[in-house]
Amino acid sequence: MYNPSTMSDCLFCKIVNGEIPAEIVYRDENVVAFKDVNPQAPVHVLVIPVKHIDKLTSSEAADGKMLAEVFSVIQKIAADMKLDEGFRVVSNCGPAGGQTVFHLHFHVMGKRAMTWPPG
Ligand code: 5GP
Ligand code: ZN
Protein backbone atom coordinates (compact mmCIF):
# COMPACT_ATOMS: atom_id res chain seq x y z
CA MET A 1 0.00 0.00 0.00
CA TYR A 2 1.43 3.41 -0.95
CA ASN A 3 1.52 5.62 2.09
CA PRO A 4 2.39 9.25 1.33
CA SER A 5 2.82 9.92 5.06
CA THR A 6 5.51 7.26 5.50
CA MET A 7 8.63 8.10 7.45
CA SER A 8 11.48 6.00 6.11
CA ASP A 9 13.00 5.39 9.55
CA CYS A 10 9.74 4.58 11.35
CA LEU A 11 9.14 0.98 12.40
CA PHE A 12 5.35 1.22 12.27
CA CYS A 13 5.36 2.95 8.86
CA LYS A 14 7.41 -0.04 7.69
CA ILE A 15 4.74 -2.38 9.08
CA VAL A 16 2.04 -0.34 7.29
CA ASN A 17 3.98 -0.63 4.04
CA GLY A 18 4.76 -4.32 4.46
CA GLU A 19 8.52 -3.76 4.70
CA ILE A 20 8.48 -5.41 8.14
CA PRO A 21 6.15 -8.36 8.71
CA ALA A 22 3.47 -8.24 11.37
CA GLU A 23 0.39 -10.23 12.23
CA ILE A 24 -2.13 -7.78 10.86
CA VAL A 25 -5.66 -8.23 12.21
CA TYR A 26 -7.32 -5.22 10.53
CA ARG A 27 -6.50 -2.84 7.72
CA ASP A 28 -8.30 -0.14 5.81
CA GLU A 29 -7.30 3.07 4.07
CA ASN A 30 -6.65 4.98 7.30
CA VAL A 31 -6.14 2.44 10.09
CA VAL A 32 -4.01 -0.68 10.62
CA ALA A 33 -4.09 -3.04 13.62
CA PHE A 34 -1.57 -5.78 14.34
CA LYS A 35 -0.52 -8.04 17.21
CA ASP A 36 2.16 -6.69 19.54
CA VAL A 37 5.41 -8.67 19.13
CA ASN A 38 5.87 -8.73 22.92
CA PRO A 39 2.34 -9.21 24.25
CA GLN A 40 1.56 -8.06 27.79
CA ALA A 41 -1.83 -9.79 27.84
CA PRO A 42 -3.40 -12.76 26.02
CA VAL A 43 -4.88 -10.21 23.60
CA HIS A 44 -2.49 -7.34 22.82
CA VAL A 45 -3.17 -5.49 19.58
CA LEU A 46 -1.70 -2.17 18.43
CA VAL A 47 -4.08 0.10 16.52
CA ILE A 48 -2.38 2.82 14.49
CA PRO A 49 -3.24 5.48 11.95
CA VAL A 50 -1.71 4.90 8.52
CA LYS A 51 -0.67 8.55 8.63
CA HIS A 52 2.62 9.05 10.45
CA ILE A 53 1.88 11.11 13.58
CA ASP A 54 4.67 10.71 16.11
CA LYS A 55 2.54 10.91 19.26
CA LEU A 56 -0.88 11.85 20.58
CA THR A 57 -0.01 15.51 21.20
CA SER A 58 1.14 15.90 17.57
CA SER A 59 -2.32 15.18 16.20
CA GLU A 60 -4.30 18.15 14.88
CA ALA A 61 -7.95 19.12 14.63
CA ALA A 62 -7.91 18.00 10.99
CA ASP A 63 -7.05 14.48 12.19
CA GLY A 64 -10.26 14.29 14.21
CA LYS A 65 -12.29 12.25 11.72
CA MET A 66 -9.44 9.83 11.19
CA LEU A 67 -8.92 9.43 14.95
CA ALA A 68 -12.63 8.69 15.32
CA GLU A 69 -12.06 5.89 12.80
CA VAL A 70 -9.18 4.60 14.95
CA PHE A 71 -11.59 4.37 17.89
CA SER A 72 -14.19 2.60 15.76
CA VAL A 73 -11.54 0.03 14.88
CA ILE A 74 -10.70 -0.36 18.59
CA GLN A 75 -14.38 -1.14 19.20
CA LYS A 76 -14.42 -3.61 16.31
CA ILE A 77 -11.32 -5.39 17.62
CA ALA A 78 -12.84 -5.59 21.11
CA ALA A 79 -15.91 -7.21 19.54
CA ASP A 80 -13.95 -9.53 17.21
CA MET A 81 -11.66 -10.68 20.05
CA LYS A 82 -14.65 -11.10 22.37
CA LEU A 83 -13.34 -8.72 25.03
CA ASP A 84 -16.84 -8.34 26.45
CA GLU A 85 -15.64 -8.68 30.05
CA GLY A 86 -13.54 -5.55 29.64
CA PHE A 87 -10.21 -4.48 28.28
CA ARG A 88 -7.68 -1.66 28.43
CA VAL A 89 -6.69 0.97 25.85
CA VAL A 90 -3.37 2.75 26.39
CA SER A 91 -1.45 5.36 24.42
CA ASN A 92 1.95 6.04 25.95
CA CYS A 93 2.87 9.63 25.05
CA GLY A 94 6.49 10.75 25.10
CA PRO A 95 9.50 9.20 26.85
CA ALA A 96 8.24 9.73 30.42
CA GLY A 97 4.91 8.21 29.35
CA GLY A 98 6.77 5.06 28.33
CA GLN A 99 6.55 5.58 24.57
CA THR A 100 9.26 3.68 22.69
CA VAL A 101 7.94 3.72 19.10
CA PHE A 102 7.25 7.23 17.86
CA HIS A 103 4.28 6.54 15.59
CA LEU A 104 0.97 7.11 17.38
CA HIS A 105 -0.53 3.82 18.54
CA PHE A 106 -3.16 2.53 20.91
CA HIS A 107 -2.51 -0.66 22.85
CA VAL A 108 -5.65 -2.80 23.16
CA MET A 109 -5.14 -5.38 25.88
CA GLY A 110 -7.53 -7.95 27.21
CA LYS A 111 -8.32 -11.47 28.39
CA ARG A 112 -6.69 -10.95 31.76
CA ALA A 113 -7.53 -8.87 34.83
CA MET A 114 -5.80 -5.48 34.70
CA THR A 115 -4.39 -3.75 37.75
CA TRP A 116 -4.31 -0.05 38.61
CA PRO A 117 -2.17 2.00 38.82
CA PRO A 118 -0.02 0.81 35.91
CA GLY A 119 3.74 0.84 36.41
P1 5GP B 1 5.21 1.90 23.26
O2 5GP B 1 6.29 1.45 24.21
O3 5GP B 1 5.76 2.90 22.27
O4 5GP B 1 3.97 2.37 23.93
O5 5GP B 1 4.76 0.62 22.48
C6 5GP B 1 5.50 0.06 21.44
C7 5GP B 1 5.05 -1.37 21.31
O8 5GP B 1 5.49 -1.83 20.05
C9 5GP B 1 5.63 -2.31 22.37
O10 5GP B 1 4.56 -2.92 23.09
C11 5GP B 1 6.43 -3.31 21.56
O12 5GP B 1 6.34 -4.63 22.05
C13 5GP B 1 5.83 -3.19 20.18
N14 5GP B 1 6.75 -3.48 19.09
C15 5GP B 1 8.03 -3.03 18.98
N16 5GP B 1 8.58 -3.49 17.85
C17 5GP B 1 7.63 -4.22 17.22
C18 5GP B 1 7.61 -4.95 15.99
O19 5GP B 1 8.59 -5.01 15.23
N20 5GP B 1 6.47 -5.60 15.67
C21 5GP B 1 5.36 -5.56 16.49
N22 5GP B 1 4.29 -6.24 16.08
N23 5GP B 1 5.35 -4.87 17.64
C24 5GP B 1 6.46 -4.22 18.01
ZN1 ZN C 1 5.43 6.12 11.22
Nearest residue by C-alpha to atom 13 in ligand 1? 36
Nearest ligand, measured from the Cα of 52: 2
User: Tens of pLDDT along 68-114?
Assistant: 999 999 999 999 999 999 999 999 999 999 999 999 999 999 999 99
For the chain, the C-alpha Rg in angstroms (whole number) is 14
Which of the residues 44, 103, 105, 107 is marked catalytic? Answer: 105
| Fold for the domain defined by 7-110 | HIT family, subunit A (3.30.428)
Confirm or reject: Cβ of 22 under 6 Å from ligand 1.
Answer: yes
105 is catalytic: yes
Q: What does the domain layout of the chain look like in residue ranges?
A: 7-110
Summarize the chain as % helix, strand, coil (round to 5): 25, 20, 50
Q: Note the pLDDT tens digit of each residue in 2-23.
A: 445 567 899 999 999 999 999 9
